[in-house]
Amino acid sequence: MTLEEISTYIPHQLPQNQLRGLELFFLISTRPLLQFSRDDALLYNSINGQKSVAELGALHEGAFERLNAWHRASIIELVPPVNCGPGPHRVVIEPHMDDAALAIGGYLLNHKSQGHTTILSVTARSIFTSYFSSRRMFLDDVAVTRLREQESALASELLGATHVSLGWSEAPLRYCPPDRWHFGTPKQLSQLPQIFCKTLPRNEEVELLAQELFEALRILAPDELWIPMGLGDHVDHTTTRRACFRMLSEARSQFSGICVNMYEDIPHKAVAPGQAGQVRDVLARHGTSLTRTVEDVTDVFEEKIRVISVYGSQFKRSYMEPRVRAIAGQDAAVPGRLAEIYHRVDGRFLLPPESDLSSDSIALHSVRDGIRKLVDRRPQARKIVIEILPSSHLARWRTDIEPFLAAFPDSKVRIRAPREISWQTDVHDSPKLSMRLVDGGWLGWTGVVFRGLFQFRTPTLVLWRGAYCSGNKRIGKRVVNLFIKLLLPLRPVLFARTLSDCACVLGDRPREFAGSD
């Protein structure tokens, strides 16, 4: 780029880069990204997100060449001036502070000069960085949250948008407070984001978020509203989707003139192929129609990748770009082009049961049928046993156990869980509930099962990660299920992946499970 082309651009430091002396580092890394001269350091420290390239050039000799080189090396970003022409006020609701750029960054760049965009993030407080994949712990939630907010502000500027946030904590921090994260080993902690994200929405959170979204939109007064489709079943995404529908259903008169679009979550949709069609079909049966639209983003795709790379604390460009590019190529209507998919939403905003929308809907329906059978046996079920095998987890069990206790008000619940996962949560104080921690891994667990061989007719819920396996893993699942049933004879045995799945099924149809005995 020439000086004339970028003279009005505003240079920005990337938030995750830190200057220590004359060396530039990525976060807590000990390997420098760049070695500066004293003049370089003076110029770099002069970048404050307000002075233009021309203004910095007037203060520092040779600034243009150095700024251009740093931009090519992805050390800084250059934000062009945005001249918003006539058009709608778009409000994009995103579960996390990167979802809008990942899902519809190309669309926003295509329409940057047409109207104005506000990106409204649900969550802000976070503890997750890319260090988790390498099991290097950077557990300062205050510092990580500040970093995320700075990244989002910069990415939004590059998209020609304004960023605001509701300030919620991401799922891992909502269900496991920061002080408990220091009890786990690096290996255990590296698994926590997935453990706490692959759960299902809680009604209490959906209701609270719906109210907060209503208050925010009442102030923002959008002409267009963009909401996530909830693909991939990340709990923050599905909670946001459900809250958006609840808000629009309960306050439709206030938002009757707003165009509502639903975007496909990227890269989450890649782990659940076909779920978009499933969501579309299920919503249609409940009176909501989705009209699929393809937005060609070929011409702005490189710029979109540049925006996404601003979120460097979460992922490297080399990791995310091929995933986003592959999805864009698959979504394009013409071979060789790149596209994003979104859906125009019309009709009623009535959400079906969450278990119908999940990518594990078939398995969750089986869990529902199994719980129904247990409910039918309530008069004889004086005791219920929940076996949490080492491959499962406790996650947010303190809240997930409540619907289970309510469904079996006259039964005592006995939980057996591996000691190595007990640090994830605190102790529940219900007199109906007791927990026994099992030592010795799978060997210790086998002993527990053998000691319970003769507890005939005791309903037993077995939680393990492979409960819903399909494809090549289906045979292994059947073998394990059969083995456990042989070890637990003459009793009803129900398999599920987590207690959260059971809580979701119970919450979807509370009247069904509160029926008479």
Give per-residue pLDDT as tens, 77-110: 999 988 777 889 999 999 999 999 999 999 999 9
Q: Which neighbouring-strand residues pair with 120?
A: 93, 164
C-alpha dist (Å) from residue 492 to 268, 365, 368, 445, 504: 36, 17, 14, 19, 21
Q: Looking at residue 516, what is its pLDDT? A: 43
| Residues 129 and 179 occupy one common structural domain | yes
| Residues 368 and 345 occupy one common structural domain | no
Strands 383-388 and 460-463: parallel
* Contact in structure between 160 and 82 (CB atoms under 8 Å): yes
- Comparing CA positions, the residue from 71, 18, 7 lying closest to residue 45 is 18
pLDDT tens-digit profile of 54-80?
Answer: 999 999 999 999 999 999 999 999 999
| Residues 388 and 334 occupy one common structural domain | no
Considering 316, 339, 356, which residue would you say is the last residue of a domain? 356
C-alpha dist (Å) from residue 450 to 29, 453, 454: 50, 5, 9
| 500 vs 471, higher pLDDT | 500
- Comparing CA positions, the residue from 58, 37, 66, 155 lying closest to residue 102 is 155
| Residues 58 and 102 occupy one common structural domain | no
Separation of alpha carbons 165 and 325, rounded Å = 28
| Residues 231 and 331 occupy one common structural domain | yes
The CATH number that applies at residue 422 is 3.40.50
Residue 137 has pLDDT above 60, yes or no: no
Distance of CA 30 to the CA centre of its chain: 30
pLDDT tens-digit profile of 298-351?
Answer: 999 999 999 999 999 888 888 899 999 999 999 998 999 999 999 999 998 888
Residue 428 has pLDDT above 80, yes or no: no
| % of the chain residues with pLDDT over 70 | 85
| Residues 10 and 131 occupy one common structural domain | no
| % of the chain residues with pLDDT over 90 | 51
Separation of alpha carbons 505 and 517, rounded Å = 19
| Residues 349 and 391 occupy one common structural domain | no
Q: Looking at residue 299, what is its pLDDT? A: 97
- Comparing CA positions, the residue from 66, 69, 52, 72 lying closest to residue 8 is 52
Considering 330, 356, 382, which residue would you say is the last residue of a domain? 356
What is the rounded average pLDDT of the residues 197-206?
Answer: 87
| Residues 450 and 323 occupy one common structural domain | no
| Residues 269 and 391 occupy one common structural domain | no
| Residues 212 and 66 occupy one common structural domain | no
- Comparing CA positions, the residue from 480, 476, 468 lying closest to residue 233 is 468
What is the rounded average pLDDT of the residues 238-253?
Answer: 92
* Domain enclosing residue 19, as ranges: 3-79
Q: How many domains does the chain have?
A: 3
| Residues 108 and 11 occupy one common structural domain | no
Considering 45, 79, 113, which residue would you say is the last residue of a domain? 79
Residue at 61: amino acid letter: E
User: Which token pair is 293?
Assistant: 């639209």
Q: In 390-459, which residue ranges form alpha helices assigned H by DSSP?
A: 397-407, 441-451
pLDDT tens-digit profile of 476-505?
Answer: 556 566 656 555 556 788 889 888 888 888
What is the rounded average pLDDT of the residues 447-467?
Answer: 72
Look up the pTM and report it: 0.89
- Comparing CA positions, the residue from 311, 259, 297 lying closest to residue 150 is 311
| Residues 282 and 195 occupy one common structural domain | yes
